[in-house]
Amino acid sequence: MPIETIVLIAASGLAAREVLGSDESMPGSQAEFDGWFWPMRTLNVGSAVYMPSVSDTYSAVKTATHREHHGCDIMFRRKAGGGPDQMYPRNGSEGTANYFCPHGLDAICPRDGKIYNCGIGGKGEWAIIDCGKPIAIFMTHLRGLRVSKGQGGRGGATVIGTVAFSPEDSQKLNHMHLEVWRNGPSSAHVDPMPYLTKAKYS
C-alpha cells in the first residue's frame, strides 16, 4: 500500500480494515449512478457559461503517458480561442493551457451523504462523504472547510469548503481533487468518470 494511502487513512481516522459503505452489490448497479452532482457550480464569465470538467483523469497505476492518480482533477475547460485568458492566464495559479479555475469557488457536495470525517493534511483540507452502500467520496485541495464530522450533506447544495490547491504544488494551481471509494477506504479507489458523466450541473 503506498505511503500516501497509509498516511491518508491515519489522518482521516479510518482503520486499514474498515470498510465504508461496503456491501455485496455488483459494480455498475443503477443506484450507484443516481443523485450525483458536479462538485463545482457552473461559472459565468462575461456572457460565457462554463461547466466544470475533468482536467486530469484517473489512473490506477503509473503508465508511460500518465502518472498514478487515484482520482480526477476538476477545473473549467477553456473555450475555442483560449477562453478568459486575461482574467485567468495560462500557466498561472488559476489556469493551464486548456483549463482554468478561479480562486474562491465553492466546493459542493457531489451526492447526498454524511461527512464521515474532515481535516487538513499535506495536500490541503479534505472531507470524506459517506454516501451509503457502497460509495464514499474523498475531496481535497480545499480550504476554509464549512462542514464537520457527522454532519449531513446534500448533493448539489451543501458547501464543503472553498476550492484551493495542494500545498505540495509549486505552481499552486487552483483545482479540486476528487476520489470515489467503492466498498472500502482509500485503497479501494475507482475511476470517478462513470459517475461524473451521470452527474447534474448546479
pLDDT grade for 75, boundaries at 50, 70 and 90: very high
Beta strands in the chain (DSSP E): 43-45, 48-50, 52-56, 72-77, 99-100, 106-108, 113-121, 124-130, 135-143, 152-153, 159-163, 176-182, 189-190
Which residues does residue 117 pair with via DSSP β-bridges, in sequence order? 128
What's residue 27's pLDDT? 52
pLDDT digits (tens, 9 = 90+) for 142-182: 999 999 999 999 999 999 999 999 999 999 999 999 999 99
Quick one: cell of 153? 450533506
d(CA 178, CA 155): 14
Residue 15, CB-side half-sphere exposure with 13 Å CA sphere:
3
Helix, strand, coil: what percent of the chain each, to 5?
10, 35, 55
d(CA 25, CA 137): 18
**Topology given in CATH for the domain delimited by 3-196:** Glucose Permease (Domain IIA) (2.70.70)
Q: What is the pTM of this model?
A: 0.84
Q: Where are the domains of the chain?
A: 3-196
